[in-house]
Structure 1
Amino acid sequence: MYDIIFRHIEEKVTLTPAEKQLIQTFFKFKKVRKKQFVVVEGHLCTYMTFVSKGLLKAYNVDDKGHQHINQFSPEGWWTSDMSSFFSGGISFYSIDAMEDSEVLVITREDFENLTIQVPVMDRYFRLLFQNSLITKERRLISSHIHTAEEKYKHIVENNPDLMKRIPQNLLASYLGLSAETLSRLKKNVVIKTK
């Protein structure tokens, strides 16, 4: 249950066996059924969530009921509404499971205690948050300067296995396209890459 999270952590920092034992005490294991919410827009986000198995999505819903996907979180990814989690304010988006999933969750209080009691975890999370900020900045820049085809090619080339698990309408939402536009784009990209 903790193998995936420890592999993820040890990509950035080194842990002792004693630290691994202590880290486990701060997390709770949860099973999340497909379509079950982890975070609900407009409510407090009480956990930071690590996906051990499955796939989650973070999104907003507009006045017409359309989902606008912000992030997909497969195995080995963290997800949360960080603003709500750290500030105690309401969540700006919802997070639910696209597949039956298994997650490890940590509360704000346990997060603070973890980073104090296992100082190397403070460095781990700092590196994690830095990478997240860089990724979000690149995505924002990409949304302004890259064509729809370039954005589609980039996500498919960098996440081929994940693309098999994401329905076309949700991928279109993530890319800021209509499902019809994505369908036409996929045909054109296939033709151009043959």
Structure 2
Amino acid sequence: MYESFFNYLKKFSSEPLTEDDKVIFARGFKAYKLRKRQYFLQAGDVCANFAFITRGAMRRYTVDDRSTEHIDMLAVEDWWMGDRESFAVGTPSIYHIDACEDTEMLLLSRSESIKFRSIPVWCEMLYQLDLNNNIASQQRIVASVSLSAENRYLDFITRYPEFESRFPQHLIASYLGITKDTLSRIKRKILYK
């Protein structure tokens, strides 16, 4: 489980991880498992840990006054999952986060994450993740306000081709901000083009 995290970190630095760094990371993270449909976080709770997914799939969503779920994030292996604001500030989360498959992860608490600040690869990774997150957020906003439902779907499967087979259609539809029926029509239309 830790080996997949170490391999992930290698993407962010030309310098190899030292054995001391690996020991520090292994002490800071704790292995954790969720069964399919089990909650990682519920709205109203503080996000005490961030999760690095080593196996499985998760979703993050809000629920409106009519009990409709609105998914804002889907994640699979080598993705991070949590509520950044709640984790950083200690405020109650607005999100529910649960497992869409049996999931294995490495959990990191805020206090443990502070200990990693002296490790260069950690700082490089955080910088790159912040940059990627900002770019992805901008792209998502632009897509949601300027693209048709069909083009949002095409953009989604281009950016995240593995998600199509990992997440049920109703979850993908919610992520795209459309109904399951609309997504079915879009997929049929694309198939017959």
SS at match of 2:94: coil
Post-superposition Cα deviations, 1:110-168, rounded to whole Å, max 9, x if no partner, equal 0111223x243122212112211111111111111111111111222332322112111
SS at match of 2:151: helix
CA RMSD across the alignment: 1.2
Residue segments in structure 2 that go unaligned for 5+ positions in a row: none
CA distance in 2, matches of 1:124, 1:160: 24
CA distance in 2, matches of 1:38, 1:66: 19
Post-superposition Cα deviations, 1:80-130, rounded to whole Å, max 9, x if no partner, equal 1000000010112111000110000100000111223x2431222121122
Match of 2:129 in 1: 128
Match of 2:160 in 1: 159
CA distance in 1, matches of 2:159, 2:89: 33
SS at match of 1:138: helix
Quote the sequence identity (%). 34
Written as runs of structure 1 = structure 2, the 5 A alignment for 1:21-32 is 21-32=23-34
Contact kept? 2:58, 2:100, Cα under 8 Å: yes
Residue segments in structure 1 that go unaligned for 5+ positions in a row: none
CA distance in 2, matches of 1:57, 1:191: 30
> Please, which moves more after superposition, 120-129 or 176-185?
120-129
Match of 2:9 in 1: 9
SS at match of 2:66: coil
CA distance in 2, matches of 1:55, 1:152: 19
CA distance in 1, matches of 2:178, 2:170: 9
Contact kept? 2:25, 2:116, Cα under 8 Å: yes
Match of 2:95 in 1: 93
TM-score, length-normalised on structure 1?
Answer: 0.94
